[in-house]
Structure 1
Amino acid sequence: MPRPHGIRRPHALLASAAAAATLLATALAAAPATADTPDDDTAAGKRVVGYFTNWGVYERNYHVKNIETSGSAAKLTHINYAFGNVTGGKCAIGDAYADYDKAYDAAGSVDGKADTWDDGALRGNFNQLRKLKKLHPGLKVVWSFGGWTWSGGFGEAAKNPAAFAESCYGLVKDPRWADVFDGIDIDWEYPNACGLTCDTSGRTAFRDVMAALRAKFGGKNLVTAAITADASAGGKIDAVDYAGAARYVDWYNPMTYDYFGAWEAKGPTAPHSPLSSYNGIPKAGFNTDATITKLTSLGIPSSKLLLGLGFYGRGWTGVTQSAPGGTATGPAKGTYEAGFEDYKVLKSKCPANGTVGGTAYAKCGNDWWSYDTPSTIAGKMAYKNRQNLGGTFFWELSGDTANGELIKAIN
């Protein structure tokens, strides 16, 4: 999924291998299997999980208050707060200013009350999320760690999972904001495979990390993970024991988007989030149905899998063919990133005029974009219900329209 720019910090020295093994064995033995909570808002099938990015308060000018004014807060069961960093084998703050120091005036605050400068007073996104939860008592907030930019730290963390879990618990449950967070989400891109960097921690490392987190966070806190959607033979799903780790998580968020994009500068053009395969799709196993089918075939309960949506499009330029499969010369221009644009911009800038594989695409001028619309999301919701999936999640809130057009299409 799209990620912020981040600064890496040097890793700390590890505890001894023997101590790590002992701590991990304890965590594996103690970690309970999980069960769906009985609350209607979090029961399997009804989850609606949206990512909120801490860097969105800058150039994007998207704040926690916008979650309320767009109507999104009333639709959400969970917010994934992205991202905390992973460095030195520990969980760490991602952006201290945005997270808990930025002062909001009355107009920018969720409840119309300005932040104070009292010693020890919580400010920033964390305080705004606290206020949002008071307006929506059933809403839960989960702190996500890692992401594309900061996944390089997980290899170090995996060498001593129990110490990593201890650090994460201490940070998530810091007394200053313990009431804000209801658990932890791990966005490791990708265990035992390559993302921005390559990881060689081994097939069981992810399972061991999730077991340690469950042992430390216990059964009353959520433990979730965003995972690869690469269902190709010998691909990223095959590199990890996701089935073995499943008993320690409340659910997985398979990232069923970004299958295709202008990192393949010359194309072929293809939708970044196809629901199903289609004639001419560039790579087998790169579609939502293939991902869900593969994960459930491993024995992962469908109730522990959420269907992933992108509230954005990916596009190419230099395209002459309207139908998918055309050649290109590079990424189309985007507001914040080449080849990437929010739905709220694309819906009027380049309106969808075709569908393929259960998602939408559009050609305008020399540019070709693919993205989900309320109509294609409705089709994906029907699929979610047929497959008895645990709910829906999406990246990310600021890509939607000011009145929450996409989230309102989620059932």
Structure 2
Amino acid sequence: MRFRHRVAALAACLSLPLAGLVGLASPAQAATSATATFSKTSDWGTGFGGSWTVKNTGTTSLSSWTVEWDFPSGTKVTSAWDATVTNSGDHWTAKNVGWNGTLAPGASVSFGFNGSGPGSPSNCKLNGGSCDGGSTPGDAAPSAPGTPTASDVTDTSVKLSWSAATDDKGIKNYDVLRDGTKVATVTGTTYTNTGLTKGTDYSYTVQARDTADQTGPASGAVQVRTTGGGGGEPGPSGKVNLGYFTEWGIYGRNYHVKNLVTSGSASKITHINYAFGNVKNGQCTVDDTFAAYEKAYTADQSVSGTADTWDQPLRGNFNQLRQLKAKYPHIKVLYSFGGWTYSGGFGQAAQNPAAFAKSCKAVVEDPRWADVFDGIDIDWEYPNACGLTCDTSGPAAFKNLSQALRNEFGSNYLVTAAITADGSSGGKIDAADYGGASQYLDWYNVMTYDYFGAWANTGPTAPHSPLTSYSGIPTAGFNSADAIAKLKAKGVPSAKLLLGIGFYGRGWTGVTQSAPGGTATGAAPGTYEAGIEDYKVLKNACPVTGTVAGTAYAHCGNQWWSYDTPSTIAGKMTWAKNQGLGGAFFWEFSGDTANGELVSAINSGLK
């Protein structure tokens, strides 16, 4: 299927001179008026995201559209969606694709692109005519204001200041945008935003409007976190570095909370998701009580170096996490419910979100371990879509559940969710209201891995965690960049998105071709499950032989594996920072080496 972004103008709009009457339209369109406006949806210094919106303002249907503009030298489109974009030098042309060319009166459509360079579009034409229906030719839009600075930050307010924009006709006023939505229009270059939520992250930009009511490009963004709240603060880099600790890992994997200390990982992470609590009968419940709070640890196994006693009120992983937090006070711990195996219970939970949320808080705040957990994470695989089982709760169920959790837990707890990274058209991201739900959540753990694997037992071989698309990728939209872009387009703030890293590889056997795209005869053997193996094993058993789409692959004998390495993780972290993401998370600790080299790579990459 063709990959489509439903791009919304989330950030400052630069309304470029565009058109009333479409002068070069076909006879059937001669009376049709249309406009085109440009929005700069994101900016990471060396590049930016952009969106054009074409609107039929006339009384007859528009059967096709073509938008043209000029970029200054050094600025160009690097990728685009929902339009066919070409260029001749610095002149760029975008034509509708098959499904979005027809516009009824009053209808509009958007297409988006990523660009490099500092410039903004100019000299726009729509179907050969002007783009805004009557701006004076040559009347330039205002420049971008300076990036705001934040001061006087409190629990509920922040003061913003910025340097003035310039314009040939003079500046009329400024729009202040919070997380892409206009919150105020002011005539000066300062604004104090009140009524905010304590302990919450916000992103602010500013755009100028001239006396002809033309708006210029958005300023750079300033990230602000209000004071107060019980949420876990990110590390010194300002980014989240979160790892999953599996409840069952203490058995066959022999991985315990103390391993976070001996590996050096505890000092480099900011958060831990404890996985998984179960969802039964529409309620949260502890899964393995022995592992969670009954298992006795000897002195040499314990984080504190003190042996558990038979009569102490809390033992097991929960007590070890309590000891870890005492030793590393910066770490916040969230209790994660669901996962691949236990997501079947969310459908019933969605029928009574308030009761579900109440049950979850009762588990998290159990008096025996109330000091251990700083929040809750919901890993629903997948709302209104199919995972191990199929859910039919409807597109609003996830938002309703998220709202109920926030209402129950309040602002003093973290409330997060692990979500699909299916960026395909009509895929799992489209199945639920992730944009609407994001207002209630601190962040999303976007599961940007497991795109491809030996469940397709004859191949083609493909990396399970590609950062970007590549020539020959088996499914369009199955990569991190497309998933993140789609979530942003649905209104999720960049700072609420964490990039997912797998500490394992996926592989096939019976493969003769080294490069991706080869055929196979089945899943490669693995320690615990065919087709999957820990990084700590693969780095020596099947060393990397190549890279593709920002990740690594390895061909050894007749096996073919893909997995991330410290080097590819460094590249992914640079990309995450350039995208303005809130950080990264990984699944899961026990796949790393004894000295925690993958955790270290994420930590270093986020600085």
Q: Same fold (TM over 0.5)?
A: yes
SS at match of 2:429: coil
- Residue 365 (structure 1) aligned with residue 549 (structure 2): no
1:33 CA drift (Å): 9.6
Whether the aligned pair in 2 keeps the contact of 1:44 and 1:391 (CA below 8 Å) is no
Alignment pair present for 1:167 and 2:332:
no
Partner SS for 2:590: helix
- Residue in 2 aligned with 1:245? 437
Q: Is the 8 A contact 2:546 2:553 kept in 1?
A: yes
Change (3 A) 1:346 1:98: same
Give the conservation status (yes or no) of the 8 Å contact 1:45–1:388.
no
- Structure-1 residue corresponding to 2:336: 144
In 1: Cα distance, 2:589 partner to 2:516 partner: 27
Equivalent of residue 498 in structure 2, options 286, 306, 316: 306
The offset of 1:42, in angstroms, is 5.5
CA contact (8 A) 2:450 2:465 kept: yes
Determine whether 1:100 maps to 2:293: yes
Amino acid at match of 1:237: I
1:35 aligns with 2:228: no
User: Residues 220-243 of structure 1: CA distance to partner in whole angstroms, max 9, x if unpaired?
Assistant: 100000000001000000000000
Q: Cα–Cα, structure 1 residues 58 and 152, in superposed 2: closer, same or farther, change >3 Å?
A: same
Is contact 1:34-1:247 (8 Å) kept? Answer: no
1:133 is matched with which residue? 325
Contiguous gaps of at least 5 residues in structure 2: 1-196, 202-224
Going from structure 1 to structure 2, the CA distance change for 1:204 and 1:42 (only over 3 Å counts) comes to farther
1:203 aligns with 2:395: yes
Are residue 122 (structure 1) and residue 327 (structure 2) matched?
Answer: no
Match of 2:241 in 1: 48
- Post-superposition shift, 1:254? 0.7
Query: Structure 1 48/400 Cα, relative in aligned 2: closer, same or farther at 3 Å?
Result: same
Q: 1:406 aligns with which of 569, 590, 598?
A: 598
3-state SS of the aligned residue for 1:155?
helix
**1:45 Cα deviation (Å)?**
4.7
2:447 corresponds to which residue? 255
| Inter-partner Cα distance in structure 2 for 1:222 and 1:43 | 19
Q: Deviations over 1:183-207 (max 9, x none)?
A: 0000000000000000000000000
Matched, 1:347 2:543: no
Match of 2:424 among 204, 207, 232: 232
* Change in CA separation of 1:40 and 1:141 when aligned onto 2, cut-off 3 Å: closer
3-state SS of paired residue (1:107): helix
Query: For 1:106 and 1:89, how far apart are their aligned partners in 2?
Result: 39
Q: Would you say the 8 A contact 2:436–2:491 is kept in 1?
A: no
**Residue 472 of structure 2 is aligned to residue 280 of structure 1:** yes
Residue of 184, 190, 194 corresponding to 2:382: 190
- Counterpart of 1:9 in structure 2 is none
How has the CA–CA distance of structure 1 residues 328 and 322 changed in structure 2, closer, same or farther, with 3 Å as cutoff? Answer: same
Decide which structure has the larger Cα Rg and report it.
2
Question: C-alpha offsets along residues 349-376 of structure 1, whole Å, 9 cap, x if unaligned?
Answer: 0001100000000000110000000000
Unaligned runs of at least 5 residues, structure 1: 1-31
Pick one of 555, 567, 575 that aligns with 1:383: 575
CA-CA distance at 1:121 after TM superposition = 1.6
**Equivalent residue for 1:157, pick from 344, 349, 354:** 349
Write 1 or 2 for the structure with the bigger share of strand.
Answer: 2
2:587 is aligned to: 395
Deviations 1:63-120 (A, max 9, x none): 00001110110011000000000010100111100000000000100011001112x5
Tell me, what secondary structure is at the counterpart of 2:529?
A: coil
The aligned counterpart of 1:111 is: 304
Task: Give the secondary structure class of the aligned counterpart of 1:265.
Answer: coil
C-alpha separation in 2, matches of 1:260 and 1:273:
8
In 2 relative to 1, CA 113–33 (structure 1 residues): closer, same or farther, beyond 3 Å? closer
Identify which of 78, 86, 89 aligns with 2:271.
78
For 1:74, give the aligned amino acid: S
State the partner residue of 2:119: none
Q: Deviations over 1:363-399 (max 9, x none)?
A: 0011000000000000001101100100110000000
The alpha-carbon deviation at position 299 of structure 1 amounts to: 1.1
8 A contact 1:232–1:284 mirrored in 2? yes
Aligned to 2:191: none
Partners of 1:180 and 1:230 in 2: CA distance: 33
Instruction: Work out which structure has the larger RCO, using CA pairs closer than 8 Å and 6 or more positions apart in sequence.
Output: 1
- Find 1:289's aligned residue among 476, 481, 485: 481
Q: Give the letter for the 1:401 counterpart.
A: T
The whole-number CA distance in structure 2 between the counterparts of 1:192 and 1:300 is: 19
Deviations 1:259-285 (A, max 9, x none): 000000010000000000111000000
Q: 1:16: which partner in 2? A: none
Classify 1:198/1:40 alpha carbon distance in 2 versus 1 (closer, same or farther; 3 Å): closer
Q: CA deviation at 1:251?
A: 0.1
Q: Which amino acid letter does the alignment assign opposite residue 508 of structure 2?
A: W
Percentage identity across aligned positions? Answer: 70
Q: SS at 2:536's partner residue?
A: helix
Given residue 92 of structure 1, which amino acid in structure 2 is its aligned partner?
A: T
Closer, same or farther: CA 231–374 of 1 in aligned 2, 3 Å: same
* Aligned length in residues: 379
- Asked if 1:58 is matched to 2:223, the reply is no
CA RMSD of aligned residues (A): 1.3
- Contact 2:472-2:517 at 8 Å conserved across structures: yes
Other-structure match for 1:15: none
Structure 1 residue 41: deviation in Å? 2.8
SS at match of 1:299: coil
TM-score for both structures, normalised by structure 1: 0.91
Give per-residue Cα distances to partners, 1:125-154, cap 9 Å, x unaligned: 000000000011111000000000000000
Q: Which amino acid in structure 1 is aligned with residue 467 of structure 2?
A: L
Question: Which of residues 280, 289, 292 is equivalent to 1:87?
Answer: 280
Structure 1 residues 194, 311: closer, same or farther in 2, change over 3 A?
same
Structure whose residues are more often helix by fraction: 1
* Cα contact 1:45–1:389 (8 A) shared by 2: no
Cα distance in 2 for partners of 1:368, 1:298 equals 36
Q: Write the distance in 2 (CA, Å) between the matches of 1:53 and 1:45.
A: 26
The answer to whether the 8 Å contact 2:526/2:533 transfers is yes
8 Å Cα contact 1:33-1:247 kept in structure 2:
no
User: Contact (CA 8 Å) 1:77, 1:138: kept in 2 or not?
Assistant: yes
Match of 1:317 among 505, 509, 514: 509
Matching residue of 1:271 = 463
Change (3 A) 1:165 1:34: farther
State how far apart, in whole Å, the 2-side matches of 1:201 and 1:45 are: 36
